[in-house]
Structure 1
Amino acid sequence: MEISQFKSEEVHQKFLALYHDAMKKLPIPQDTFDINTAYGTVRVYRFGNRGGIPILLFSGRAASTPMWEPNITGLLKTHDVYSMDLLGEPGLSIQTNPIKDHKQQAAWVEDVLMQLNLTKVHLLGVSFGGWTVVNYAVYYPKYIASIIVLDPALVFAPFSLKIILFSLIATLPFVPEYWRKKSMSWISGGAEVDSKNSTSRLISIGLKDFTIKTPAPKQFTVEQLNSIHAPILVIFAGKSIVHDSAKALVRAKSLSNHVEAEVWPAASHAINGEFPNEINERVNKFLSGLTL
């Protein structure tokens, strides 16, 4: 079957050890859920217990909940936070049935929200997580209070040649480890990658040793983007290698007036980790200005 999975049980066990180590750096979750959907079991964590409309986090490609370590504590000052490991990506969610199209990629998110009994939720995604948020909004808008996407991949602009090259270096098994580390530094704006950092190692393993079998993302049409009526905040990274952020900004601003879009010139694609306080402040400002 076309199921996303680790390439070996040995790699899977190594990943799990690093994952549990990385989770120790996050606040202790109030609840942990393993939610059954039509396409597999989705791991979800709930942080905080203040009530109100929570924020639901969507991680980037080959990433999972530990990547949000720089952000969760700050976001908890104003909102409860849920985070899930995306189905079809390396994490504690387990895909059991093929996901054949983009509507099915959105359908499992709908299953999760229904079973969490969340009547309204703010969606916050980075990179591919941003694409997943928008894809969900295109098909299932019912529960969405607002959308925040950080340097979203393939939403407002096509992939650059740089990100295609990065993908090849990061995923091909015969590429030397030195090149792989340099490519991780490249996507992070030239910052040195700490080989002892469990979150960085999780992403590296996910890119190299996890086979993704979900449908490849496609750039959304103007009609699809304009079909979304929830308020949207888009923050592009000026140093992103994923796309041309200036062109992406123009397209985002050409949509209806419920979209706030801006470029942060000093940020790379690793924007949530580089500017966690600034991201948290901007998210809070955006959410506090909504009329819900």
Structure 2
Amino acid sequence: MTVAAISGFTSDRARERFLDAYERVRLRVWPAEAVAVDLPTSFGTTRVYRYGDGDAVPFVLLPGAGGNALSWHPYVRRLGRDRPVIAVEPVGEPGRSVQSRPLDGAGDWARWLDEVLAGLSVDRVHLVGCSFGGWVALRHALHAPDRLAGLVLLDPAGFGRVGGRFLAWVLLSGVAGLAPAPVRRAAARLLRNATLRDDELMALMRATFGFRRRHPVPPPVTDDELRRLAVPALVLLGARSQLYDAPALAAHLTARNRSIRVEVIPGAGHDLPLTHPDLITTHTTHFAAQPHP
């Protein structure tokens, strides 16, 4: 594995430009009632937003690579009707968190999240992660299963090698993101990437060009690790995911661990969290409400 380095902005001006865009988007899409908290960890200061009250086990949301808490804007109010929501901005991603030490592999990511949850003073949580955030959630479940009531993973990374098709999709989507809005929205249909239709997220994405992300590609979870996963897990895969052969992965996961429930969402791609927020909210809240052995 490539040794990790510290992510960050290339200049103070790049950081100021991004944070200006971040605050504009946050004021437009984020609940005013959400409380921001900055938590110290061994890997840097981590920004989290807490939304909602009550004693129910909270949802903790982890974004995909290059994302931050604001990428969950379609979900915070929806999930907050059921139980408290905590949206986490990982260190080393463009957002309000500040990385001070590299995260060199799965163990460091699990320890970072463990420190975040300890700082939040929550005994147990339901982790909800998409893409890279799903891999981080899974690594934490293998590291500290007693903290978790359940896992919901949305087309998560880490169940196989990242292939050329996915990398090409990411590259073409990045180029399309620079185009005028009508072209960008047309490209969203061709590439099956709903992020390109989200004007708020695209404004934020364009402001991240002065940010250098230094996290290594996540290594795949092994079959032995899948077998010892002791946390109830719901994995939602896009039937047309650019990352996986979804039916083959679904069969692979359920054959290795009966506590993993997998559903393949027809017509969805890796952009599943943006195309199906109501479906994902329903599945997530129902799964969290179920008693698990």
Conserved 8 A contact 2:5-2:214 = yes
> Equivalent residue for 1:185?
188
Note the residue ranges of structure 2 that are not aligned, 5 or more in a row.
Answer: none
Aligned partner (choices 161, 164, 168) of residue 161 of structure 1: 164
Structure 1 letter corresponding to 2:267: A
Output aligned runs, 1:11-26, within 5 Å. 11-24=14-27, 25-26=29-30
Q: Which amino acid aligns with 2:202?
A: S
Q: Once the 2 structures are TM-superposed, how far is the Cα of residue 169 of structure 1 from its aligned partner?
A: 4.7
Tell me how far 1:187 sits from its aligned partner. Answer: 8.9
**Alignment: residue pair count:** 287
Match of 2:205 among 203, 207, 228: 203
2:68 aligns with one of 52, 58, 64 = 64
Q: After superposition, what is the alpha-carbon deviation per residue over 1:143-163, rounded to whole angstroms, capped at 9, x for unaligned?
A: 1110000011222x3323211
| Counterpart contact for 2:173–2:196, Cα < 8 Å | no
1:35 maps to which of 35, 39, 42: 39
Does the 8 A contact of 1:71 with 1:273 survive in 2?
no
Structure 1 residues 283 and 191: alpha-carbon distance in aligned structure 2, compared to 1, 3 A threshold: closer
Partner of 1:10: 13
TM-score by length of 1: 0.89
Residue 193 of structure 1 and its aligned partner are, at CA, apart by 2.4
Say what the alpha-carbon RMSD is for the aligned residues. 2.6
> Could you say which residue in structure 2 is the equivalent of 1:220?
221
Residue identity in the other structure for 2:95: G
Specify whether residues 279 and 192 from structure 1 end up closer, same or farther in structure 2 by C-alpha distance, changes over 3 A only.
closer
Rounded to whole Å, the distance in 2 between the matches of 1:99 and 1:4 is: 10
The corresponding residue for 2:82 is: 78
Counterpart mapping for 1:46-195 below 5 A: 46-155=50-159, 157-169=160-172, 177-178=178-179, 185=188, 189=192, 191=194, 193-194=196-197
CA distance in 2, matches of 1:29, 1:214: 32
* Partner AA of 2:114 in structure 1: E
What is the identity percentage for the equivalent residue pairs of Structure 1 and Structure 2?
Answer: 25
Give the TM-score of the pair, scaled to structure 2: 0.89
Q: Name the CA shift for 1:171/1:14 in 2 (closer, same or farther; >3 Å).
A: same
Seen in structure 2, the aligned counterparts of structure 1 residues 83 and 210 have a Cα distance that, compared at 3 Å, is same
* Gap runs ≥5 in structure 1: none
Aligned 8 A contact 2:21 2:207 in 1: no
**What one-letter code is carried by the residue in structure 1 that aligns with 2:8?**
Q
Counterparts in 2 of 1:221 and 1:79: CA distance versus 1, 3 Å: same
Instruction: Kindly indicate whether the alpha-carbon contact (under 8 Å) linking 1:169 and 1:183 is maintained by their aligned counterparts in 2.
Output: no
Whether the 8 Å contact between 2:46 and 2:98 is mirrored in structure 1 is yes
Question: Residues of 2 paired with 1:212 and 1:290: CA distance?
Answer: 39
Write the distance in 1 (CA, Å) between the matches of 2:190 and 2:66: 14
Structure 1 stretch displaced more, 162-171 or 26-35? 162-171
Corresponding letter in the other structure for 2:112: W
Supply the AA of the counterpart residue of 2:246: S
Displacement of 1:11 in angstroms is 2.2
Measured in 1, the distance between the counterparts of 2:65 and 2:100 equals 19
Give the Cα separation in 1 of the matches to 2:145 and 2:206.
33
Q: Could you tell me which residue of structure 2 aligns to residue 240 of structure 1? A: 241
